[in-house]
Every structure is written in structure tokens, then in C-alpha cells.
Structure 1
Amino acid sequence: MGYHHLALAAKDMKAMHAFYEGVMGFELVKVEIAPIAEGGWGKHFFYRMDGDDSRFIAFWELHDVPGQETHVFDLNEAGNLPTGTNHYSFDVHSAEELETWRAKWNDAGLDVLEIDHNWCHSVYTRDPNGNMVEFCLTTGAFTGADRERALAALDETEFAPSPAPASMQVWEAANAKSA
């Protein structure tokens, strides 16, 4: 079973377009404009990822929706959760591709957090809604012991931390701007 699309509301659709098409390179291919059941209407914008017509990220621009003035677009702020808890991650296939994304984000004026998690290596930034966006490269293989540890953690109630990341670095953009 595959993933077709992730749909999120947009605080500022033009800023989201500049980020997701201009920086991320996802192509805007479709919009659906429809009424919203609770009232008002919306534009549902679909961005194709990697030229694949079965994988999209989509954003709703809402209009005249009841309670619109109180909408919160950062998923973690909306859920009263710690920063970065809810985030979306896209795959890369090489360390060079991961480095290309880090540099591309920095060049676009975005700060980047890089973490080597010991089994995957990630770079993170924020989109115009304030949501954490990640590119991740799997660098290890999963073992039976990994599965056993994960299953055991389902029942644990005390803090039993994983090994610390191999490295963590913040790459500040020289011309940093708020995403």
C-alpha cells in the first residue's frame, strides 16, 4: 500500500507555493475548488513530488470558513506539542543528495538542523506554516534486536533512552529569513 498525498491547510498559500515549488522543486499540477461542509469554500492545491503522478503533497487555502480567524497552521502549536513532534519527512538516496538539500535550504535563507541518528541521517527546516520538514537517508539495516527493542518499548513506562545521535549541527543561513 502506498501513500498518495498528505493534505494540510495553508496560512499563506503564496508563501507555501514559493517554498514547495520554488525551493523544494515540487510541481503544482492541480487545484480542486470546492465548498467546505461546515461553510465557506477552499482551493485544494496538489504538488507532484519527483515527477510521480501517484505521490503528492497538497494544501488547502480556505475562504469564509467559520472560525477561520483562530486557525493554527503549525501542527505542533495546534496540538500543544513540543517543536518537531509532528513533521513530514521525504526520502533521499545518497549522502550527496542530503547535502544538496541542506545547501539548497541554506541558500534559500533557511536555517537547517542536521542529525546523524545512527541509523538514518536527516536535515530539517521549517515551511511557511512553521512545520518541520525533513529529508532523511537510511544509513543502517534493521536487525531482530532492533525489533525486539521496539516491541519492548511498547510496554515501558520509564525513560530508557536510545543511544545519543552520532552528530548534530545547526547550519544557519547567512541571509536567514523566517520560514
Structure 2
Amino acid sequence: MGYHHLALAAKDMQAIHHFYEEVMQFELVKVEVGPSPQGGWAKHFFYRMEDDSKFIAFWEMHDMPGVTDDFETNLSKAAGLPDHINHISFDVNSKAELDERRQRWQAAGYDVMEIDHNWCHSIYTKDPNDNLVEFCLTTRRFTEEDRTYALAQLSTETPTFSKPPASVTNHAANDEATTGGRAEFAALGRRDN
């Protein structure tokens, strides 16, 4: 069973639309517009990710009591957490598709971090809401050993740390790449040259 949609608030719907339709290549297929139960009104935009069963959606709110213009859209910042904790991850089917997504982000002016996690390969950038967005390719099947380790970590107070990433590469919007170093998610996003 998968999820139907993830819904997030947006401050700048035009920027969100550009990112998710033009850069991410998701298609705006539906909007619901109507009054909000607490007053005011809202638009609820749905972007199709593949077929008509998976969507990412955004709320544009108007005149809602108690909702100010300065609300925090970054999920991690709103919770007082480091940037990488709350993030949105989308799957890809091949390394070629992952590379194509990275190149598309860079061509659109976004810095990209690429990490080989030893069991999946990921690329990251920030969306206009300042949320960390990921495309991820699972590169191996999980084993019974993986499950045993995961179950043990539920209750241990002295965990055995996982193997560090095989590689971390930072790709600048202009196609420069540097390898090594730490994963610094806060600096990702669009460059306004």
C-alpha cells in the first residue's frame, strides 16, 4: 500500500508551481477551491507524480484567522530540527534517471548533493518552501540481517553506527562537482545568479 498524496502549505504558489511542474516534471492536474472551516478560503493544488494514484499537493491559504504571512514552510525548521530530518523523497527506477534528475536540477539553477548511502543512491536539493527534496534509487535488496539489525536498534541505548556513506558529491548549479566532505544540507537550493 502506498500513500495517495502528501499535502503541504505554500507561501509562493507560483514558485512552487514552477519547481514541481517545470523542474520536477510533475503535472498540475487538479485544484480544489473553497471556504476553510475556520474562516477564509484556500486553494488545494494536486500535482500528479506518475499516474492518478500518487500526488504531492500544496495549500494556498487566504484570509484564514490565525494564519499569518510569516508562517514557516520548512518542516524541519518549524519543528526546531536540523534541515535533513524532515524531507520529501521520491523514487527513481535507474541510475540513468537519477543522473537525469540531477542534471535537470542543476540546469534549473539548483545546487545538488549526491550521496551513495551503500544501500541507496540519493540526490538532494531544496524546494521553494525550503524543504529538502530527494530522488532516491534503492541499489540492493534488504536481507534478514538488515531486518535483525533494524529491530535491535528499536530498543538499544548503545547503537552500533551504520557504515558511513560510500561517497558524498556536491554539484553546483553550474555543473562543478566536488567530492568528499560532510553532507551540508542547509546550503542547498536555487542559486540566484
Q: TM-score range by the shorter chain?
A: over 0.9
1:135-154 to 2 correspondence within 5 Å? Answer: 135-154=135-154
Partner of 2:52: 53
Partner of 1:113: 113
Partner of 1:63: 62
CA displacement 1:9-34 (0-9 Å, x = unmatched): 01100000000001111111110012
Q: Which runs of 5+ in 1 are unaligned?
A: none
What one-letter code is carried by the residue in structure 1 that aligns with 2:118?
N
Q: 1:155 to 1:38 in 2, by over 3 A?
A: same
1:25-64 to 2 correspondence within 5 Å? Answer: 25-50=25-50, 52-64=51-63
Task: Quote how far apart the aligned CAs of 1:160 are.
Answer: 2.8
Task: Quote how far apart the aligned CAs of 1:159 are.
Answer: 4.6
User: Equivalents in 1 of 2:3, 2:170: separation in Å?
Assistant: 30
Task: Quote how far apart the aligned CAs of 1:37 are.
Answer: 1.8
SS at match of 1:68: coil
CA contact (8 A) 2:109 2:173 kept: yes
User: Equivalents in 2 of 1:34, 1:121: separation in Å?
Assistant: 41
User: Equivalents in 2 of 1:4, 1:28: separation in Å?
Assistant: 15
User: Equivalents in 1 of 2:141, 2:150: separation in Å?
Assistant: 14
C-alpha RMSD over aligned residues: 1.3
Q: Which runs of 5+ in 2 are unaligned?
A: 176-189
CA displacement 1:117-149 (0-9 Å, x = unmatched): 000000001100000111000101111110000
What TM-score, normalized by structure 1, do the two folds share?
0.95
What TM-score, normalized by structure 2, do the two folds share?
0.88
What one-letter code is carried by the residue in structure 2 that aligns with 1:155?
S
| Farther off after superposition, 144-153 or 66-75 | 66-75
CA displacement 1:29-67 (0-9 Å, x = unmatched): 1100122222211100011112x0111110000001123
User: Equivalents in 2 of 1:159, 1:80: separation in Å?
Assistant: 24
User: Equivalents in 2 of 1:109, 1:36: separation in Å?
Assistant: 36
Partner of 1:80: 80
The answer to whether residue 15 in structure 2 is matched with residue 15 in structure 1 is yes
User: Equivalents in 1 of 2:74, 2:30: separation in Å?
Assistant: 24
What one-letter code is carried by the residue in structure 1 that aligns with 2:141?
A
User: Equivalents in 2 of 1:177, 1:38: separation in Å?
Assistant: 38
